[in-house]
Chain A
Amino acid sequence: MVQINFAQKQINAKVVYYGPGMSGKTTNLEVVHQRAPDNNRGELTSISTDGDRTLFFDYMPLDLGTIAGMKTCFQMYTVPGQVYYNSTRKLVLQGVDGVIFVADSGPDAMEANLESIRNLEENLNEYGKSLKTLPHVIQYNKRDLPGALPVDELDKALNTFGTTTFEGVAATGQGVFPTLKGLAALVLKHIQTECAGGSSRPGATNTTGFHPASQAQASGAGTVSAPPVGGAPTKSNLDLHPAATPAPAPAPTGAVAPQAQSGGTAPAAAAATQPSAARRAATAKAAPTKPAKASPSKLMQTQGNPAPAPSTRPAQRTRTTAPAPQIRRGQGGSGAKTAAFVVAAATVGAVIAHFVLSAL
């Protein structure tokens, strides 16, 4: 869910890359991390298996800068794509504000794509959300694969709600940033529209005429001027970043999109096996967070540390720790003497507890 902090003038939103296993979700995030300006990107953290498959999620904060006086940050996650990690995917979707669905254009990937987008909708439904109203875009990744499925076919099968689609070759960086910008625009618009009706509360008159479901649809995926089926943006959607070094590739088949031909293609095998050195490096970076365990004996040592001297405790501490109000209510407040006794007892109890705990 969007978090708006007027005290810190900050807005946080959560964006999730979703899609079938090996479709290129982590590769997308790695490219964003590699190419985003240093001042705007946070650390890329991966919780993955030894085989570089995402186990829980990859995470990276992206600072979009100060927008209309509010520092706006996207917390960007990927999910593990494998079917059997559904409970993990569901957890990562909690509070999501926008989804980038990364579809695999491989000739044999249609079933996995369909299964994944169905799974996405099911998991969103469990949080009371739906692709119908949630800002989302679709990226048809691996357009350089020989025999890649035609965009028309993918669009017809996956783009149920007519949202904006992008073609990409994430392994070379193509299409990564247009996809992200496409989603970011939808999310920001959604936030603004949603907040425009934000003063309504139970008992208050909705003077703005705002209605969450219809308004979200109006601002999100539902009414984004999406291209017709088969009309996915082509060359304009490609991010032909200078840093993307085209690799020598076998000649794509006729099914490969034109932009893939012009934008430099990677060998199909390389695109299909996307775990990269960068990903391993990111995993290694995250590694120190894993072994932060300690033996039971350490627990004993810590608990046995010398406690702070009682004389250093301020008198205020006793008052703060005494749960007197709750106890008074529990006793029913039958009389001043009873209340005073309870307060005194609670205070003494708290003091004793503090001494005992400090001495441990």
Chain B
Amino acid sequence: MTTQDDARLREDRLVFYEADMEQLHTELDGFLELSKSRCAMLIDRDGHMVTRRGEAVESSSESISALIAGSFAATKEMARLLGEPEFAVMFHQGQRDSIQLQLVGERTLLAVVFDERTNLGLVRFYSQEATVRLGETFARIASEVRDSSLSDDFSSAGAAALDDLF
């Protein structure tokens, strides 16, 4: 297997173990405490939620993840027109809640929901530090040897589940 094949394998999926999640949660909990934000979500650039800490957001977290990944991707073209590879940070302000999106490493986004209990400067200050450490964690996850074997009957059980569902 060539190095290129391996790189493609890693690009094809992300695998998380219990220890990874604990490390990510510790980092996010510390960030939430310092920044006094409501909620922090780690979202894959494809739109999949990796994990979430803090208060639950009102709407479906899956839908929010998809929209966040979509809006972040959409600004890439805007950045390109300005000669930037992409924008690393985005911010949306609402009447009650605001959200800051920040790129973590190559393919993950940190979405922070916060309200009047804190302010943008504080959130941005601590998120800059948190993303460095989170980026290191994701880089390690992407580079490590990972056994992601599934049960032998995964696809056949899946077919049966689909028959039951529809």
Separation in Å of the B69 CB from the closest CB of chain A? Answer: 8
Asked if B70 contacts A91 (CB within 8 A), the reply is yes
Name B133's closest neighbour in chain A (CB-CB): A320
Cα–Cα distance between A201 and B140 once the two chains are bound (Å)? 13
State the total of A-B contacts with C-beta under 8 angstroms.
242
Question: Counting CB contacts under 8 A, is A198 at the interface?
Answer: yes
Q: A6-B15, A196-B149, A211-B5 known; A321 and B48 CB under 8 Å?
A: no
Q: Which residues of B contact A42 (CB under 8 A)?
A: 60, 62-63
B1-36 CB mask vs A (1 if < 8 Å, else 0) is 101011011111111111011100000001001101
Q: Which residues of A contact B150 (CB under 8 A)?
A: 4, 11, 68, 70, 191-192, 195-196
Cα–Cα distance between A202 and B77 once the two chains are bound (Å)? 33
State the interface size on chain B (CB cutoff 8 A).
76
* The residue from A192, A202, A299, A323 contacting B3, defined by CB atoms under 8 A apart: A202
Q: Which residues of A contact B129 (CB under 8 A)?
A: 320-321, 323
Cα–Cα distance between A14 and B116 once the two chains are bound (Å)? 35
Q: Which residues of B contact A298 (CB under 8 A)?
A: 93, 95
Question: Counting CB contacts under 8 A, is B161 at the interface?
Answer: yes
Asked if B119 contacts A201 (CB within 8 A), the reply is no
Chain A contacts with B in 259-299, Cβ cutoff 8 A: 289, 292-294, 298-299
Asked if B70 contacts A4 (CB within 8 A), the reply is no
Stretch of A53-61, A113-121, A228-236, A248-256 at the chain-chain interface: A53-61
Q: A3-B14, A299-B93 known; A200 and B1 CB under 8 Å?
A: yes
* The residue from A43, A94, A321, A353 contacting B63, defined by CB atoms under 8 A apart: A43
Name B20's closest neighbour in chain A (CB-CB): A7
Separation in Å of the A136 CB from the closest CB of chain B? Answer: 16
Chain B contacts with A in 52-98, Cβ cutoff 8 A: 59-60, 62-63, 66-67, 70, 73-74, 76-77, 92-95, 98
Stretch of A144-152, A160-168, A177-185 at the chain-chain interface: A177-185
Separation in Å of the A356 CB from the closest CB of chain B? Answer: 8
Stretch of A18-26, A101-109, A300-308, A335-343 at the chain-chain interface: A300-308
Name A93's closest neighbour in chain B (CB-CB): B46
Cα–Cα distance between A3 and B32 once the two chains are bound (Å)? 25
A317-328 CB mask vs B (1 if < 8 Å, else 0) is 100110100000
Name B73's closest neighbour in chain A (CB-CB): A91
Chain A contacts with B in 82-118, Cβ cutoff 8 A: 87-88, 91-92, 94-96
Question: Counting CB contacts under 8 A, is B45 at the interface?
Answer: yes
B116-128 CB mask vs A (1 if < 8 Å, else 0) is 1111111001100
Asked if B13 contacts A195 (CB within 8 A), the reply is yes
Q: Which residues of A contact B158 (CB under 8 A)?
A: 64, 67-68, 72, 184-185, 188
Asked if A188 contacts B116 (CB within 8 A), the reply is no
Chain B residues at the A interface, C-beta cutoff of 8 Å: 1, 3, 5-6, 8-18, 20-22, 30, 33-34, 36, 44-51, 59-60, 62-63, 66-67, 70, 73-74, 76-77, 92-95, 98, 116-122, 125-126, 129, 144-151, 153-155, 157-159, 161-166
Q: List 9 A-B contacts (CB under 8 A).
A: A7-B21, A57-B70, A68-B157, A77-B47, A184-B158, A199-B145, A294-B98, A320-B30, A360-B121
Chain A residues at the B interface, C-beta cutoff of 8 Å: 1-8, 11-12, 14, 35-37, 40, 42-43, 45, 47, 56-57, 59, 61, 64-70, 72-73, 75, 77, 87-88, 91-92, 94-96, 128, 177, 180-181, 184-185, 188-189, 191-192, 194-202, 204, 206, 210-213, 239, 289, 292-294, 298-299, 302-303, 305, 307-308, 314, 317, 320-321, 323, 353-354, 357-358, 360
